[in-house]
């Protein structure tokens, strides 16, 4: 009895509990779910039939690292929590995890996504380049307004005249009727230089001497008379009579002045001997454009029928024609010529109505090649300037037009139409030819333009508007010496 009594009275051993982690229903349910899932997976992975010794496993088409899905899976909606997770990820019905040996073909809706993919890839791999502070995109594009405006009544209305010029001494000269004036842009003083006789007609073209003669200006009248003046002493130097040859474009090269004539000739005038040292005869029509290269080794000339000639200046100062390419021609008059400062053999030419195209040539390969770049604009090109600081080309323009054929005429006719390029200054990128910026400079056609000595600004003129304007187009690179500009302008009006 005592033993039985002691056996029944012996209390059952108590389980050890961790005082720091009291039991909770949540942890108990979590352990129970985990055990259930582990058991199901284990039983699914191993069949109830034992594998005989010596037998090999059956080969499977499953990937080595991504196993093929079996027919029986653990459902993803075992508990409310897993059900909620599967619903959030779109896996409630196991559609994305269904496996088959042959993938199902997707039914197309008729809309191709390939262009969208290409556009996305293009944006992804596109290299975004920062806009240079030198470029016109950072200067003219941001400030499209002119900085200076000067009244100019009486400027030549001839579409191929050159009545304004900018010297290396920062003097801007303008021809009004029979007189020539200049203004010092630092002191704002206006000085009268000279006047032409009544028999010589109005002033047609003017041009300052180069770096060797920055205070000498050449003035040519519409009948062909050429005068040289020293603007500091206001004294007249050499003069050449007209002989009824007419006047075209003119340009200095060191101590030689090249002058285009109406009869197609190009005269080489030497102010030291006051004689004509040579005459070039490569044109048969009015020579509108005359431009020396930056190194003074080549001379480009253009005429009224679009022919462009390039001449080579030898060591003995004999100038000879170096191109015989009949394709170096525009289908319209050409006045605008410009040589590149950073590539001496790069020449830009621009045509007027009915051409309206800018062509860029490499003068090393004139006999065998076409232009390296053509920029069709359908707008008259009146002047061209290469930037000395970056690979950009500035052009000034007159009117724009469209071409049509009248039923009563066999020839094409042209009708003036408004255009973003009309009466504008436009900057193009090289070698792509892309348009960087275009700004309307005047209400009428831009007849001519000239570049500042620092290569950052241009003056444009419009005879119909009776004024000239200055625009800031580029900036000089830091430390180049040209960036320290003296143009702290205040608007005159």
From CA 302, how far away is CA 286, in angstroms rounded?
8
From residue 131, how far is each of 328, 383, 407, 430, 438 by CA, in Å?
34, 26, 50, 15, 17
CB 294 within 8 A of CB 300: no
Consecutive 10-residue averages of pLDDT for the chain (493 residues): 44 50 49 44 43 46 54 56 72 53 54 74 73 94 95 90 95 95 93 93 94 92 94 92 84 92 92 88 94 93 94 69 74 96 95 95 80 95 97 97 77 85 97 96 96 96 94 89 42 34
pLDDT given for residue 109 in this prediction:
54
- Establish if 223 belongs to a structural domain: yes
pLDDT given for residue 478 in this prediction:
84
Strand partners, 349: 337, 359
- Establish if 181 belongs to a structural domain: yes
From CA 447, how far away is CA 239, in angstroms rounded?
27
Phi, psi of 454 (to 5 degrees): -90, 0
- The range of the structural domain enclosing residue 195 comes to 161-285
- Cα-Cα-Cα-Cα dihedral sign, residues 444, 164, 253, 339: negative
- Establish if 453 belongs to a structural domain: no
Instruction: Give how many domains the chain has, as a whole number.
Output: 1
Max CA-CA distance within the chain?
160
> Is residue 343 left, alpha or beta, with left meaning phi > 0 and alpha meaning psi from -120 to 50?
beta
Query: Helix and strand tally (H, E) in the chain?
Result: 4, 29
Query: β-strands 346-351, 357-362: how paired?
Result: antiparallel
pLDDT given for residue 6 in this prediction:
40
Tell me the three state secondary structure of residue 358: strand
- Establish if 106 belongs to a structural domain: no
- Establish if 183 belongs to a structural domain: yes
What's the CATH code of the domain at 188? 2.130.10.10
pLDDT given for residue 330 in this prediction:
94
pLDDT given for residue 283 in this prediction:
92
Q: What is the dihedral of CA 457, 461, 462, 465, to 10 degrees?
A: 80
pLDDT given for residue 5 in this prediction:
43
From CA 196, how far away is CA 200, in angstroms rounded?
6
Question: Smallest Cα–Cα separation from 260: which of 274, 276, 249?
Answer: 249
For residue range 289-345, what is the model confidence (pLDDT) as tens digits?
999 999 999 999 999 999 999 998 875 555 667 666 667 889 999 999 999 999 999
Single pTM value for the model: 0.72
Question: Smallest Cα–Cα separation from 207: which of 220, 194, 196?
Answer: 220
- Establish if 334 belongs to a structural domain: no
pLDDT given for residue 282 in this prediction:
87
- Establish if 476 belongs to a structural domain: no
What is the separation of C-alpha 489 from the centre of its chain, rounded to a whole number of angstroms?
A: 27
Cis peptide before 431 (omega within 30 of 0): yes
H or E element at residue 99: none
Residue 437 token pair: 């910026």
pLDDT given for residue 436 in this prediction:
97
Q: What is the dihedral of CA 36, 42, 44, 45, to 10 degrees?
A: 160
Side-chain-facing half-sphere of 359: CA atoms under 13 Å: 24
- Establish if 240 belongs to a structural domain: yes
């Amino acid at each position: 009895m005592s033993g039985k009594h002691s056996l029944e009275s012996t209390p059952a051993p108590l389980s050890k509990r961790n005082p720091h982690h009291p039991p909770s229903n949540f942890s108990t349910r979590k352990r129970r779910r985990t055990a259930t899932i582990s058991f199901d997976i284990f039983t699914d992975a191993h069949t109830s039939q034992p594998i005989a010794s010596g037998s090999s496993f059956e080969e499977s088409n499953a990937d080595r690292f991504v196993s093929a899905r079996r027919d029986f899976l653990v459902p993803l909606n075992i508990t409310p929590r897993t059900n909620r997770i599967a619903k959030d990820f779109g896996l409630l019905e196991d559609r994305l995890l269904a496996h088959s040996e042959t993938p199902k073909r997707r039914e197309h809706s008729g809309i191709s996504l390939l262009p969208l993919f290409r556009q996305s890839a293009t944006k992804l791999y596109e290299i975004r380049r920062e806009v240079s502070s030198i470029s016109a995109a950072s200067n003219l594009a941001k400030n499209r307004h002119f900085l200076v405006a000067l009244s100019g009544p009486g400027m030549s209305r001839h579409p191929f005249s050159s009545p304004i010029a900018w010297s290396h001494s920062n003097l801007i000269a303008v021809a009004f009727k029979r007189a020539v004036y200049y203004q010092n842009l630092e002191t704002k003083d206006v000085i009268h230089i000279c006047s032409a006789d009544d028999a010589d007609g109005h002033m047609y073209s003017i041009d300052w001497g180069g770096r060797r003669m920055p205070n000498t200006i050449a003035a040519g009248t519409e009948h062909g008379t050429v005068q040289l003046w020293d603007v500091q002493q206001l004294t007249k130097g050499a003069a050449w009579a007209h002989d009824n040859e007419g006047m075209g474009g003119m340009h200095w090269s060191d101590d030689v002045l090249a002058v285009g004539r109406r009869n197609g000739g190009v005269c080489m005038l030497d102010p030291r001997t006051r004689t004509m040292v040579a005459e070039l005869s490569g044109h048969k029509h009015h020579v509108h454009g005359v431009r020396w290269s930056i190194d003074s080794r080549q001379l480009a000339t253009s005429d009224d029928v679009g022919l462009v000639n390039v001449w080579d200046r030898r060591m003995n100062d004999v100038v000879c024609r170096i191109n015989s390419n009949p394709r170096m021609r525009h289908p319209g008059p050409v006045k605008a010529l410009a040589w590149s400062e950073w590539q001496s053999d790069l020449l830009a030419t621009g045509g007027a109505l009915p051409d309206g195209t800018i062509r860029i040539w490499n003068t090393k390969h004139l006999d065998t090649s076409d232009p390296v770049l053509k920029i069709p604009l359908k707008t008259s090109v009146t002047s061209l300037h290469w930037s000395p600081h970056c690979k950009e080309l500035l052009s000034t323009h007159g009117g724009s037009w469209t071409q049509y054929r009248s039923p009563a005429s066999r020839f094409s006719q042209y009708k003036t139409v408004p255009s973003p390029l009309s009466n504008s200054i436009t900057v193009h990128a090289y070698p792509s030819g892309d348009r960087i910026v275009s700004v309307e400079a005047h209400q009428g056609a831009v007849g001519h333009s000239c570049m500042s000595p620092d290569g950052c600004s241009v003056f444009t003129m419009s005879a119909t508007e009776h004024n000239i304007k200055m625009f800031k187009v580029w900036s000089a690179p830091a430390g180049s010496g040209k960036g320290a500009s003296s143009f702290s302008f205040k608007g005159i009006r």
